[in-house]
Structure 1
Amino acid sequence: MQLPAGPGEARENSIAVARRAVELGVTLIDTAYLYGWGANEELLVEALHPFPDGVLVTTKVGVVPPDPPREAALCGRPEVLREQVEGALRRLRVDRLDLLQLHRVDPDVPLDDQVGTLRDLRDEGKIGHIGLSEVTVAQLERAREIVDIASVQNRYNLLDREHEAVLDACTAAGIAFLPWRPVLPATTAGEIAAVAAEAGATAAQVALAWLLGRSPVVLPIPGTSSIEHLEENAAAASLRLSDGQRSRLDTVRRRV
């Protein structure tokens, strides 16, 4: 989402960031139709296609472009989801979307219809695995009655643990949990900064390391448009927090 897809130097930088991510061992790249209305998907194709073995590019559907004065809106109507999946297949130049996530649940369309459409597309061979984003435990449970759910992408970080129960449900079920905004609003003050100083790391690295140790199903998806920041994020994978440091971070209160 953070990679500019317009022409010129910014696009060249975005391509370099995507390629460097793969060099660093990143194996999942998250995009969505919403990110530039397909432009971000096309950028990743220019940077990485044919996608290297072991690299999963996952995208999301269920949001429609702005219609002034309305901004982007949710739309989970079956015909729209089908159209957007077909568009993603074309833009990403693949025969199957190995992981396709519903960007948001549209409250105006029955959940069964939205998830059922993705199930049908999976059965048709156009989707490999199905994920959800910004869902409750109840929505996740209902979706799992319709089709296997491989991943959940909810906002979650050290200071924002609103979806703790969803993460716990994913852990119990062995469902991948992809926290978005995983390092924000990580702070440079207080306990996080103290642990960072002890570990010789940045606050962002501490936030990512805490997430990676929170549950074996957690796979953070930090975004960046900077190679330097990308390398900093990737280095967090090797940061090991002590039990005492984790315990102190566990007590950090969510910022309201």
Structure 2
Amino acid sequence: MTSTAFRIGGDLEVRRLGFGAMHLPTEPVPARESSLALVRRAVELGVTLIDTAYLYGGGTNEELLAEALYPYPDGLLITTKVGVARSGPSGEWRLDGRPAVLRAQVEQALRRLRVERIELLQLHRVDPETPLADQLGALRDLRTEGKVGRIGLSEITVAELDQARKIVDVASVQNRYNVLDREHEPVLTACERAGIAFLPWRPVAAGASGAKAEIAAVAAELGATPTQVALAWLLSRSPVMLPIPGTARVSHLEENLAAERFHLTRAHCARLEQLHKSA
């Protein structure tokens, strides 16, 4: 039986199937009201892990979550990401892991989310122009100060993960991964060995027609949707896997969260395991 819970960092228990808030519109007003209702519905349905980032609207996504859910129910984890800023020559978004920038973004996130501590803070991307030790050192200092509980990384390699773990305790990794796109399989393996949570972004595959047809065939056998099969496969793939599918529609939210009800047999998994080779 696949477990539906995982302890991030060994102590922070969440439901493995979470919610990614990136796609939620914050304006105009009717769309914002729908977003607020969707987030509240997610929590009603038992979601305890919600993923956001400063990049998502320059903080407006964080503000939306606070408006919808504050004061937060016990056991709800809202994780956010820093390290991308409008600091390009013309004010465009770019990677920016300078310690002062990371610290400022964390301070702003605390205010927007209305919390004194971000229980899981993730570095959105490694900034190649700033030493990794400086980036993680800044986050480690914030953790020492009590403003951050646990530190995670996103879109990293095995080598970067190994380097990072010599500097800080890494609680989570957020890399692109799904049944058709398994480029980061070595990173998932490294996370499994270390007990690090793996949060796949883009968890629902969009790939070759033949591969999608096979997913649809498995779905028909189970009485599920292809999306539910893709998510059920992730949950069965590894005990450290915490998918965070996102949507702006309540019907899709309910479909996604129902995925954990479906049990894939070994035969189903064997068929799905082969798909990324042809995608």
Indicate the TM-score class for this superposition, using the shorter chain for normalisation.
Answer: over 0.9
For the structure 1 residues 254 and 91, does the alpha-carbon distance in structure 2 shift closer, same or farther, using more than 3 Å as the test?
A: farther
- Cross-structure match for 1:166: 187
The CA deviation string for residues 121-176 of structure 1, in whole angstroms up to 9 with x for no partner, is 10110000000000000111111111100000000000100000000000010000
Unaligned stretches of 5+ residues in structure 1: none
Q: CA deviation at 1:18?
A: 0.3
> What TM-score do you get using the length of structure 1 for normalisation?
0.97
Q: Measure the CA separation in 1 of the matches of 2:89 and 2:225.
A: 41
| Structure with more contact order per residue of length (Cα contacts < 8 Å, sep ≥ 6) | 2
**Is residue 160–residue 255 contact of structure 1 (8 Å, CA) maintained in 2?**
no
**Is residue 201–residue 244 contact of structure 2 (8 Å, CA) maintained in 1?**
yes
- Cross-structure match for 1:198: 221
Q: CA deviation at 1:7?
A: 3.6
For the structure 1 residues 66 and 192, does the alpha-carbon distance in structure 2 shift closer, same or farther, using more than 3 Å as the test?
A: farther
Q: Measure the CA separation in 2 of the matches of 1:129 and 1:244.
A: 38
One of 226, 229, 236 as aligned partner of 2:249 = 226
Look up the SS of the partner of 1:146 in the other structure.
coil
**Is residue 136–residue 164 contact of structure 2 (8 Å, CA) maintained in 1?**
yes
Look up the SS of the partner of 1:240 in the other structure.
coil
**Is residue 87–residue 96 contact of structure 2 (8 Å, CA) maintained in 1?**
no
Q: CA deviation at 1:237?
A: 1.2
Q: Detail structure 1 runs of 4+ shifted over 6 Å in the superposition.
A: none
**Is residue 186–residue 207 contact of structure 1 (8 Å, CA) maintained in 2?**
no
Partner amino acid, structure 2, of 1:79? A
Q: Measure the CA separation in 2 of the matches of 1:137 and 1:120.
A: 24
Q: Is 2:31 the counterpart of 1:10?
A: yes
- Cross-structure match for 2:231: 208
Unaligned stretches of 5+ residues in structure 2: 1-21
Following superposition of structure 1 onto structure 2, how do residues 31-180 of structure 1 map, counting pairs within 5 Å?
31-65=52-86, 67=88, 71-180=92-201
**Is residue 158–residue 254 contact of structure 1 (8 Å, CA) maintained in 2?**
no
- Cross-structure match for 2:203: 182
For the structure 1 residues 215 and 3, does the alpha-carbon distance in structure 2 shift closer, same or farther, using more than 3 Å as the test?
A: same
Q: Give the CA RMSD over aligned residues.
A: 1.4
Q: CA deviation at 1:72?
A: 1.3
Higher strand share: 2
Q: Measure the CA separation in 2 of the matches of 1:68 and 1:213.
A: 45
Percent of aligned positions that are identical: 67
**Is residue 208–residue 278 contact of structure 2 (8 Å, CA) maintained in 1?**
no
Q: CA deviation at 1:8?
A: 1.0
One of 257, 265, 276 as aligned partner of 1:242 = 265
For the structure 1 residues 102 and 192, does the alpha-carbon distance in structure 2 shift closer, same or farther, using more than 3 Å as the test?
A: same
**Is residue 100–residue 128 contact of structure 1 (8 Å, CA) maintained in 2?**
yes
For the structure 1 residues 127 and 242, does the alpha-carbon distance in structure 2 shift closer, same or farther, using more than 3 Å as the test?
A: same
Q: CA deviation at 1:115?
A: 0.8
Q: CA deviation at 1:251?
A: 0.9
